[in-house]
Amino acid sequence: MTRAVEGDCDPRSAIRAFLRRFIAQPIGDGDDIFNLGHVDSLFAIQLVLFLEREFAIKVENRDLDLDNFRSVEMMAAFIGKKRGVAH
- Where along the sequence are the contacts to another protein (CB under 8 A)? 1-2, 17-18, 20-22, 24, 40-42, 44-50, 52-53, 61-62, 64-66
Tell me the closest approach of the beta carbon of residue 83 to another protein, in angstroms: 18
Residues 6+ apart with CB under 8 A from 84: none
The residue among 21 and 86 lying less far from another protein, judged by its C-beta, is 21
- HSE-CB at 86 with a 13 A cutoff on CA atoms is 0
The residue among 16 and 86 lying less far from another protein, judged by its C-beta, is 16
Tell me the closest approach of the beta carbon of residue 6 to another protein, in angstroms: 16
